[in-house]
Amino acid sequence: MNASTGDPTDVSLEEARELLVDLVSIPSPTREEREAAKRLVDFFEAHDREVWIDAVGNVRAPADDSVLLTSHIDTVPGDIPVEVEETGDDEILWGRGSVDATGPLAAMAAAAVRTGVSFVGVVGEEVDSKGSRYLVDDRETSPDAVVNGEPSGADGITLGYRGLIAGTYVATSESGHTSRPDPNAIQHAVRWWSAVEERFEGDEYEPIFEQVTTKPVDIEGGVSEDGLSVETTMDVQLRVPPALDVETVREAAEAELEVGTVTWKDKVPPVMMSPRTEVARAFRVAIRQEGADPRLVRKTGTSDMNIYAGAWDCPMVTYGPGNSDLDHAPDERLPLSEFDQSVSILERVARTLSED
């Protein structure tokens, strides 16, 4: 391995923190990641790493593929003034993305340079996983292992995510006086979705991770412009636990459909990894070596790890500094001591996996 493809070089914690603050300071909502991507490229080039921005905007720094460290560049919208706050014996970085997922992204970039392993910063995770979908299609082979970057806390190892199925319901009915008893398109939409919610209603003692949960995310309806019909469009999402698959959930939702049509536009399979893989083992050891007790985490949402698990037959986990309760929150913030610790843990894990 030569310097252009991944020889390890030193990255101080001060330099890693500088990268983190710079990235948080650059607005990077989905579809506007270019400037943040350039800052990542500059970081890798400064350490003589091969790096480029690919056709969709991902930052690619291939090297030792015994492990791929990857996180997303984009954030949700929201202007949180960037500030490093002194708090006793720690410093707190405030800003959009400090937790989700610029903190994990910067920690992985530093660890990748320190150890000479592969790195990718992907785009579009917050909307449609455009970057990760392109990555799995563009790569000829899978890496030996994957660490996906999302906040788990420096002591947390995320092994599972629920899947997602998203669709759009459309119905049309004849217009008429509102006193008529016949249901209109808006009522048909409400009745279908109420039936879907009832179909998947979980037991109050059943963990959310193991349930199908339903959520309408947008609805529009009313009399058409020509006044001849009532039209309704409703966007919906269902989260799918690992015990089921998205096709089973889709079929069950469609079975409740009596009027109207639904078009499914996004299907992401659930994922649940074993805690006994070499990646999970390496994290448990590294977290203990850093003086913490490892936690195994399952998340009720969906991430790029779902995309990777559906395409690559290799062990993987999700990891990164930050409290996931602050994802997308107006008070998003990250203790820099936790960031430092996560860089060390990622470095230990990458060295262990590259030596195996």
Buried b (16+ CB within 10 A) or exposed e, 114-129: bbbbbbbbbbbbbeeb
Active site residue 74: yes
Q: How far is CA 255 from the centre of its chain?
A: 30
Q: Give the active site residue among 100, 125, 338, 340.
A: 125
Residue 170 Cα distances to 100, 138, 257, 270, angstroms: 34, 35, 11, 27
What phi-psi label fits residue 57: left (phi over 0), alpha (psi between -120 and 50 degrees) or beta? left
Active site residue 203: no
Compute the distance between CA of residue 79 and CA of residue 100 in angstroms, rounded to an integer. Answer: 14
What phi-psi label fits residue 259: left (phi over 0), alpha (psi between -120 and 50 degrees) or beta? beta
Compute the distance between CA of residue 91 and CA of residue 89 in angstroms, rounded to an integer. Answer: 7
- Phi and psi at 17, nearest 5°, equal -65, -40
Percent helix / strand / coil, the chain, rounded to 5: 35, 30, 40
Q: Are 52 and 106 in contact (CB under 8 A)?
A: no
- CB atoms under 10 Å from CB of 217, counted, come to 9
- Phi and psi at 319, nearest 5°, equal -155, 150
- Gyration radius of the chain's alpha carbons: 23
318: helix, strand or coil = strand
246: helix, strand or coil = helix
Q: Give the active site residue among 33, 64, 74, 100.
A: 74
Compute the distance between CA of residue 162 and CA of residue 353 in angstroms, rounded to an integer. Answer: 27
Active-site residues: which are they? 74, 125
